[in-house]
Amino acid sequence: MAAAAALPRLCALLLPFLAVATCLDAPSHETFHWVAGPWMMCSSPCDGGLRYRDVACYGNLDDNTIKHYPVDDASCSADEMPARQEACNQQSCSDPAQSINPKRSGMSGWLVALVLVLGLGAIGGIAFTSYTYYMRYA
């Protein structure tokens, strides 16, 4: 019933672009379907979160005068509507297997070891130089 009421309004909008006979004599059959967008990021990295997506009802005419246009959600079947939200990242934050990040950022272990050895060497060099200076002028 909503589709039948929408056709005259749609016809009036299209009237400047279409022949009058097409709009008044043979109204097109209008169909409606749900369109779901991509999922957003999860609200939590672990211990459960939610992710959302946009879902909207769109209509189109069989004669392809208008291929895809937004309509009120009541025009589409509520039973066929895709989910707008879902649970995600249900694993525990305290689970050690999940806490290991395969995409580690920062310095690698070898770089940390190199910096540590060079730092200790520099400290040792300063201590040796200080001791030598002290012994020479003491």
For 56-75, the pLDDT digits (tens) are 999 988 877 777 899 999 99
- Our count of domains for the chain comes to 1
- Alpha-carbon span 43 to 87, nearest angstrom: 9
Q: Is residue 135 part of a domain?
A: yes
Q: What is the structure's pLDDT at 102?
A: 53
**What domain range includes position 115?**
110-138
Percent pLDDT > 70 in the chain is 70
Distance CA 60, CA 36 (A): 16
What does the mean pLDDT of the chain come to? Answer: 79
Q: Is 114 inside any structural domain?
A: yes
Q: Say yes or no to pLDDT of 43 above 90.
A: yes
Q: Quick check: is 130 in a domain? A: yes
